[in-house]
A and B are shown apart, each in its own frame.
Chain A
Amino acid sequence: MADNVVFHFDVDGEDFSSAGGASVTVKKKLRQLGISQEYIRRVAIAMYEGEINMVIHANGGTADVIVSDEEIKIVLADTGPGIPDVSLAMQEGFSTARDNIRSLGFGAGMGLPNMKKYTDTMEIETELGRGTTITMTVKIA
């Protein structure tokens, strides 16, 4: 691949039922680029969890996916409330999601741990009241 391939999405924070649409699109695009199934699934799951988090906690945001010869980078940015204690948020089972979110099948405190599990690197930049940017990479070389 001579140049990086970039995909950009606006994630609608108002509509839970359509959340995950960007991840589904990325999955299809990566398949068209000939990326192997294993990498595609890891990217899709990590991005899907991130998208759901943005809808649940931050009223949406943006998702960018940059595909190079060496890696797939996913950047999820929101202007939500920020994460007060990142290390606590990274613990499996810890969640601040409301009960109505749990009734929809999410908010089990597995989102961030799953994102870390399926990617090679994950960085969280967050500021209370300003928002959160999560950058993840999956190495494909």
Chain B
Amino acid sequence: MKIRELEGLLSAEVLTSDQKLLDGIVYNACCSDMMSDVLAYVKDQGVLLTGLVNEQVIRTASMMDMVCIVFVRDKTPTAEMIRLAEDYDIVVMKTAYRAYEACGKLYTSGLIAREPQD
């Protein structure tokens, strides 16, 4: 699924500036507010959905080579977080949906765990 499709499915607002990155593909998703749990889950080209707002969210996604972060419940990252994400070429967006609803929308739209080569 293209990151651009995520934006539409979640009626999300993209907060990072590089529009080209929206053509990137995500193959799977992870939803958690516990970053150590995210670090236990290794998949390329994933999207992280979270309600946690601090700079470690961006660093954790970078460690996992994730390409997109969605902040749920209209949580808004700081300007410094957005700058960090842009440094790492990660798309950041926010949605008004709660985590459960956001995950459900993505799952029923076909974003189930897949390996990048599938």
Report whether A49 and B39 are in contact in the complex, using a CB–CB cutoff of 8 Å.
yes
Asked whether A45 and B34 contact (CB < 8 A) given A19-B56, A117-B40, the answer is no
For the complex, would chain A's binding face be called helix, strand, loop or mixed by DSSP majority?
helix
Q: B34 to chain A: which residues have CB within 8 Å?
A: 102, 105-106, 108, 110
Number of interface residues of B (CB under 8 A): 19
Q: Which of B36, B54, B55 has the most CB of A within 10 A?
A: B36
Asked whether A106 and B36 contact (CB < 8 A) given A20-B56, A41-B65, A52-B56, the answer is yes
Asked whether A114 and B56 contact (CB < 8 A) given A24-B62, A41-B64, A105-B34, the answer is no
Report whether B55 and A17 are in contact in the complex, using a CB–CB cutoff of 8 Å.
yes
A89-102: CB near B (< 8 Å → 1, else 0) gives: 00000000000001
For the complex, would chain B's binding face be called helix, strand, loop or mixed by DSSP majority?
helix
A119 interfacial by beta-carbon distance below 8 Å: no
Q: A17 to chain B: which residues have CB within 8 Å?
A: 54-56
Report whether A108 and B62 are in contact in the complex, using a CB–CB cutoff of 8 Å.
no
Report whether A105 and B39 are in contact in the complex, using a CB–CB cutoff of 8 Å.
no
Report whether A110 and B37 are in contact in the complex, using a CB–CB cutoff of 8 Å.
yes
A138 interfacial by beta-carbon distance below 8 Å: no
Interface residues of B in 35-85 (CB under 8 A from A): 35-37, 39-40, 42, 52, 54-57, 59-60, 62-65
A74 interfacial by beta-carbon distance below 8 Å: no
Give the complex CA separation of A102 and B32 in angstroms. Answer: 12
| A-B contact list, 8 entries, CB within 8 Å | A16-B56, A19-B59, A20-B63, A105-B34, A105-B56, A105-B60, A106-B36, A114-B40
Interface set of A (CB-CB < 8 Å, partner B): 16-20, 23-24, 27, 37, 41, 44-45, 48-49, 52, 102, 104-111, 113-114, 117
| Top 8 A-B pairs, shortest CB-CB distance | A110-B36, A105-B35, A20-B59, A108-B36, A108-B34, A17-B55, A105-B52, A44-B63
